[in-house]
Amino acid sequence: MKDVAFFYDPISPYAHLAFERLPEALMGHSVAVRYKPVLFAALLKANGQLGPAEIPAKRDWTYRQVAWLAHHHGVALDLPAAHPFNPLPLLRLGLSCAMDGAPGETNRYVTEQLFHHVWRGGLDAADPARLAALQARLQDHMAQREKPWHAPDSDVVKQRLRANTDEALALGLFGVPAMVVDERVFWGFDALPMLRAYLDGDAWFQGGAWEAAAGTPEGVKRR
């Protein structure tokens, strides 16, 4: 069985698309998926990058493209009332549901609830009333499953998010969604076919091209 780590932040529409289509990409394979929330902004800062929504022309294109991709792939996606927004309450809420045996992971149900909160209905993802309602639903879900619950603003949960983000940076991640399997990083919604090919045993991955890409010399570096 392969282990697939799915690093995400619900602020990303591409992560939402990848989450929805991941089961299709993995169909027929014996895999265990671990959903790991991270703070996307921290990855950007560590790598000296701006987010797509911080570059005006790219922001417009991003929203157009994700709307088309959702249409093309049959995924429900409504832009939230405002974007970007502060995702920390959602990230911490998700990790407050994590089990002590897997403290940095959200199960698929919880992960889905986080994404749907943002990308279904065109509402305000940061609205306090909506966040409170989501927390109540998740608490009810966890109570029915008799799993531990930690307050989203607790030090325990904050440390879980920091640990996940530090893990992502140690793996060289620079964005979300990122799928990691066998220490190989597959970044972005459009990497799902590549991930599928790897799991299928595509010979390309044994031909040296993956490794050779990292050895390409820089001809010039901007300062």
Residue 20 lies in a domain: yes
Residue 193 lies in a domain: yes
Split into its structural domains, the chain has a count of 1
The CATH number that applies at residue 54 is 3.40.30.10
17 belongs to a structural domain: yes
Task: Confirm whether 219 is domain-assigned.
Answer: no
Domain range holding 141? 2-213
In a domain, 221, yes or no: no
Q: Residue 157, Cβ neighbours under 10 Å: how many?
A: 21
Q: pLDDT 10s per residue in the chain (223 long)?
A: 899 999 999 999 999 999 999 999 999 999 999 999 999 999 999 999 999 989 999 999 999 999 999 999 999 999 999 999 999 999 999 999 998 789 999 999 999 999 999 999 999 999 999 999 999 999 887 766 656 678 999 999 999 999 999 999 999 999 999 999 999 999 999 999 999 999 999 999 999 999 999 889 988 887 6
Tell me the H-state helices in the chain. Answer: 13-26, 40-46, 56-73, 88-96, 108-119, 128-144, 155-170, 192-199, 209-213
Are the beta carbons of 82 and 5 closer than 8 angstroms? no
Is residue 152 in a domain? yes
Q: Is residue 118 part of a domain?
A: yes
